[in-house]
Amino acid sequence: MTTVENVWSRAILPIDSTIQQVIRNLDEVAIKIVLVVNERGELHGTISDGDIRRGLLRGMTLESPIDSVIHRDALVVPPGLGRDTVKQLMLVNKIHQIPVVNDQHQIVGLHLWDQITTFPSRDNLMVIMAGGKGTRLMPYTENCPKPLVPVAGKPMLEHIIERAKLEGFSRFVLAIHHLGHMIEEHFGDGARFGVDIGYLREQSPLGTAGALSLLSPRPDAPFLVTNGDVLTDIRYGELLDFHRHYDAKATMAVRVHEWRHPFGVVQTDGVEIIGFEEKPVARSHINAGVYVLSPEALDELAPQGQCDMPTLFERLKSGSKRIVAYPMHEPWLDVGRPDDLAKAHVEKQSRQAEDGTGISRGE
C-alpha cells in the first residue's frame, strides 16, 4: 500500500471544526484535503480547497461550521489494495486523494496521486542470473551471451535493468559465466545506465541459486533475484513488499498456466465408464523465474556449491522456514527459444510505438 506516513494523520480534523481551521490545515499540511472524523474516530467525509471556495462564495465566514461543505460520499479503499487498482480508481473518478479505511471505517492511510505515480527509491539489491549458455536460442547465442541478445534494439538484460530502475532499484549484481566478459564490457560499472553494477564471476556453472554463495558482502536486507532471460512487467517493488508482509525467507513469483487436453477424457473405474470430460483444462502454478530472498536463505548454500532455485526452496521448507508464492498476472515471457525471441521483439516494438520507450509503466 502506498501511503504518506505521518502526513495524513495531521490532516484529520473533528467534525465540529470551523472553516478557518480547515483553511489553516490545508495550508500547513499541503496535501489539498482534510479528513473529517466523527466522535467515534470514523471517517465522516472529506473537504478540499474547492469545497472551501464554494462555501465562501455562498456567504460562509471563517467562523462557520464545516458541516455544509463536507463531502460525505468520499471514495475510500481498504488496506492492501494494489497500486495499479488505486491509480485506475483515481483516473476514472478524476481525484488525487483516496483515504484508506479499515473495517471499522477508521482512517489508516491515504493514497495521493503524486505518490502513487512515483516509485520510491529502494536500496535493496537485485541479482540477475546471466551466466547461462542459451543453447535453446542457437544460433543467436553462438557468439553472444544470451542476456545480450537484442530485443527491439537493445539487450534483453538492459530491458530488465531499465524496468527495475523505473521502480526505484539502482543496485545490481550480475552473475556471469558463459562469455561473461562481453556482458562486463557492455555494462561496466553501470554508470552510463545511471545504476551501480557489480559481478559474480562463476568459474563453473553453479545454477540459478548457487551463484548467490559468491555474494560478498552478504546482503543485510531482502534482495531480488531474477533470471536474465525473463522479460516481464511484474512490479518488483510490490513483490518485495509482499515478501516482507508475509515475513518469508523466500518468495517465488508464480503464474497460472493453462493447458487444454486435445481430446475428450473418459473416466473409468476398472472396465466401467463412470464419466466423460470434453477437452478439460488443467491449471497449475509455474515458476516465473523471479524471487525475493532474505539474507538468512543464503545459509542453505555451500560456498561454490551448485544449486538451483527450486532446490534452495526445498531446503528452506525442510528446515521449517517460511516460503511463499506471489501470484503475478502481469505480462511475462521466458525468452528461451527463437519463437519466444520473435514474440519479445513484437511486444517491445509495439510498446516503443506507443510511448517511445519500450518500458511498460503499467499505466
Question: What's the farthest any 2 CA atoms get from each other in the chain?
Answer: 88
Q: What is the DSSP letter of 65?
A: B
**Residues in the chain with pLDDT < 70?**
1-6, 336-338, 340, 342, 344-363
Q: Which amino acid, 20?
A: Q
Per the structure, the count of domains in the chain is: 2
pLDDT of 354: 47
Model pTM score: 0.65
Cis peptide before 331 (omega within 30 of 0): no
pLDDT of 193: 93
Pairing verdict, β 250-260 and 281-293:
antiparallel
pLDDT of 187: 95
* 211 and 312 together in one domain: yes
Q: Which residues pair with 232 in a beta bridge?
A: 332
pLDDT of 46: 95
- Answer whether 230's CB lies under 8 Å from 334's CB: yes
CA gap 313, 42 in Å, rounded: 44
CA gap 341, 149 in Å, rounded: 9
The reply to whether 321 belongs to the active site is no
Does any domain span residue 240? yes
Q: Which amino acid, 160?
A: I
Q: What is the DSSP letter of 77?
A: B
Q: Quick one: how far is CA 98 from the chain centroid?
A: 21
* 34 and 132 together in one domain: no
Alpha helices in 309-337 (DSSP H): 309-318
* 112 and 129 together in one domain: no
Query: Residue 171: which domain range?
Result: 122-355
Q: At 190, is the secondary structure helix, strand, or coil?
A: coil
pLDDT of 361: 40
Determine which one of 32, 133, 165, 279 is catalytic. Answer: 279
* 236 and 133 together in one domain: yes
Q: Which of 218, 236, 212 is nearest to 161 (CA)?
A: 236
* 196 and 306 together in one domain: yes
CA gap 47, 22 in Å, rounded: 8
Provide the grid cell at 309. Answer: 532455485
* 228 and 308 together in one domain: yes
Domain at 244, CATH number: 3.90.550.10
